[in-house]
Amino acid sequence: MLVSLLTAGGFWLLLLSPPWDTEGSDGVGFFLTTATYVLLGALAMAGLYAREEVTLKQEVLMLVAVWTAAVLLWTARWLNLGVTAEHHPGTAYLVNGVSWTGSIFSGLWIATPCFLAWQLLALSIRAAWRRLSARRRCAGSAAGGPTGASGLR
């Protein structure tokens, strides 16, 4: 679980926010922030699924918590893009015309597909890994491998 989440998260991280393709230290800072998010989210989800029993409520709460963190991260990024050195107090808009509600909507708009792509790729990696492991077990037992000639383990 952890390996698939980290692999999928790393893939999307390098695709969506590569540190070498941005201007200045802001790009590297955002990359490190999102890498920390991927690491902590993957550890939290893997920790939950490592338990003996996991309820549906626990699963839903974990997914919502990690998704909400993604929304907050992308909202902060969008706000950072809209903020300039000047801010006009008493207005609902930042100098570049980015509103707070627009920033939250943009965070939802960007974070939701990113989160779903991360989870779907991780699920695909886990499914492929299980399928490959099952084929290896079948091939090993058909050749008299780990189970031996008697079929006992």
pLDDT of residue 151: 47
Helix, strand, or coil (residue 126): helix
Helix, strand, or coil (residue 34): helix
Per residue in 38-57, pLDDT (tens digit) is 999 999 999 999 999 999 99
Residues in the chain with pLDDT values less than 70: 21-26, 81-98, 142-153
pLDDT of residue 26: 64
In angstroms and rounded to an integer, the radius of gyration of the C-alpha atoms of the chain is: 22
- CA separation (Å) from 11 to 5, 18, 91? 10, 10, 39
Task: Give me the residue spans of the domains in the chain.
Answer: 2-84+92-142
